């Protein structure tokens, strides 16, 4: 009987992961409760309930996921993180596993990773053609800092990979190194390093060593602290093209945050070339009329939307913006249209005019 139960859990986990892949989910949640284990998929940025399983099999599901992820099955009192490699699991993608103890049992979240053949190129992100051309111009520069900002889930990492892909295709022979936490997509032609703080391999440690590896283009997954910011700026000043991200809502906010991290204004104005603020909007499902969404179109899970596209505001360093930074201008002053032209809302209008998204979706992402 135990063997049959074990086989049943194995099949159940395999089936749920297969369903998540088919639904284009980025994450799977296994959330324990008193009456059920709730299984939810994150699709196009939103969570959807897909199953309610008996609470009695919750520990068996967690144990199975721990085995797949190489985690300690007997430790239920501490958070754990692991990975399920596509090459040995038979699943169609690599999967990150994260467990967390709660009063009702262990909660597990799986992150389904994309792959090189699935990721989007720069023309596929959905940005306006003129904005894309300005990004391409920035990527042709020999040095400087290009920053992508936005909240979690706004597609910053996807954009970084698209930018790297463009550099690979347009600048043959360039030495490209990437420091990430974690590495989400393996790209041929790029040296990729995964941060592992438990072993002492932090962003600052990795960057200091990688600068001696003769890089020309550096991609840093995220600026998280003042030390990383300083190294990034110094690298930009010494002849490297830097691509990185920051959790910040708008270009003006990103500039001020870098300044608050201790970056002198004169270094910031000499290094920073441009800041791309980005968000993702769900696009209307082509398989069903939006008004018929409640009927439950299988392609859009009854939401009326399938997939997401990017909107952006790209602000480049100009003499006026440079002087404002040197003068110590605050966020309100830097955000003025003459210094930071354009807006995310103006770019969203482009999608509204072509009926690719809805007013409600824009309001949900950008606010009323």
Concatenating the DSSP letter of every residue in 32-81 gives: E-SS-EEEEEEETTEEEEEEEE-GGGHHHHHHHHHHHHT--TT--SS-EE
Mean model confidence pLDDT for the chain: 90
Q: In the sheet that 241-246 helps form, which strands lie side by side, from edge to edge?
A: 191-194, 176-180, 217-220, 241-246, 144-149, 272-284, 305-316
Contact (CB, 8 A) for 29 and 76: no
> pLDDT tens digits, residue range 10-42?
999 999 999 999 888 999 999 999 999 999 999
Max avg pLDDT among 85-89, 98-102, 212-216: 98-102
Using CA atoms, how far apart are residues 52 and 131, in angstroms rounded to an integer? Answer: 44
Q: What is the pLDDT of residue 270?
A: 95
Q: What pLDDT score does 296 carry? A: 55
For residue 238, what pLDDT band results from cuts at 50, 70 and 90? confident
Beta strands in 241-325 (DSSP E): 241-246, 272-284, 305-316
Residue showing tokens 């590896």: 213
- Alpha-carbon gap, residue 222 to 174, rounded angstroms: 22
pTM score, whole prediction: 0.86
Judged against a pLDDT cut of 80, whether residue 6 lies above it is answered with: no
Cis-peptide into 142, omega within 30 deg? no
CA 68 – CA 82 distance, rounded (Å) = 9
CB 245 within 8 A of CB 160: yes
Using CA atoms of 246, 250, 251, 257 in order, give the dihedral in degrees to the nearest 10: -50
Residue 147: which H helix or E strand, with range?
A: strand 144-149
* Distance in angstroms (rounded) separating the CA atoms of residues 296 and 150: 32
Q: How far apart are the first and last CA of the chain?
A: 56
The pLDDT value recorded for residue 293 is 45
| pLDDT top residue among 211 and 317 | 317
pLDDT tens digits, residue range 106-129? 999 999 987 544 667 899 999 999
CA 185 – CA 168 distance, rounded (Å): 15
Confidence band for 198, pLDDT divided at 50, 70 and 90: confident
Residue that wins the pLDDT comparison between 67 and 186: 67
Within the chain, residue ranges assigned H as helices are: 2-22, 58-69, 86-89, 129-139, 156-170, 203-210, 226-237, 251-260, 265-271, 319-326, 331-334, 344-353, 359-366
38-90 residue pLDDT tens: 999 999 989 999 999 999 999 999 999 999 999 999 999 999 999 898 888 88
pLDDT tens for residues 286-303? Answer: 887 654 544 557 778 778
Encoded tokens for 319: 């003499």
The pLDDT score that the predictor gives to residue 4 is 41
């Amino acid at each position: 009987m135990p063997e049959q139960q074990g086989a049943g859990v194995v099949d159940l986990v395999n089936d749920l992961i297969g369903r998540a892949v088919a639904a284009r989910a980025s994450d799977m949640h296994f959330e324990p409760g008193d009456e059920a284990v709730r299984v939810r998929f994150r699709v196009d940025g939103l969570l959807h309930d897909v199953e309610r399983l008996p609470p009695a099999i919750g520990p068996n599901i967690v144990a199975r996921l721990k085995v797949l992820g190489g985690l300690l099955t007997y430790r239920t009192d501490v958070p754990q993180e692991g990975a399920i490699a596509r090459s040995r699991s038979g699943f169609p993608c690599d999967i990150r596993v994260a467990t967390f103890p709660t009063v009702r049992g262990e909660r597990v979240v799986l992150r389904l990773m994309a792959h090189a053949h699935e990721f989007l190129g720069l023309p596929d992100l959905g940005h306006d053609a003129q904005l894309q051309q300005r990004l391409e111009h920035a990527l042709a520069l020999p040095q400087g800092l290009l920053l992508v900002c936005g909240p979690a889930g706004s597609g910053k990492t996807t954009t970084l990979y698209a930018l790297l892909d463009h550099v690979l295709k347009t600048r043959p022979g360039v030495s490209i190194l990437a420091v990430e936490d974690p590495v989400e997509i393996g790209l041929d032609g790029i040296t990729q390093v995964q941060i592992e703080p438990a072993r002492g391999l932090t962003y600052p440690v990795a960057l200091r060593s990688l600068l001696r590896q003769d890089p020309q283009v550096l991609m840093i997954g995220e600026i998280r602290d003042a030390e990383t910011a300083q190294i990034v700026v110094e690298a930009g000043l010494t002849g490297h093209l830097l691509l990185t991200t920051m959790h910040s809502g708008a270009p003006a906010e990103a500039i001020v945050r870098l300044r608050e991290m201790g970056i002198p204004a004169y270094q910031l104005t000499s290094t920073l070339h441009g800041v791309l603020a980005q968000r993702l909007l769900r696009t209307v499902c082509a398989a069903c009329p939006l008004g018929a969404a409640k009927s439950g179109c299988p392609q859009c899970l009854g939401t009326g939307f399938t997939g997401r596209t990017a909107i952006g505001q790209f602000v480049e360093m100009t003499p006026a913006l440079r002087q404002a930074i040197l003068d110590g201008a605050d966020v309100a002053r830097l955000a003025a249209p003459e210094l930071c032209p354009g807006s995310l809302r103006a770019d969203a209008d482009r999608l509204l005019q072509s009926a690719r998204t809805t007013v409600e979706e824009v309001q949900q992402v950008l606010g009323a």
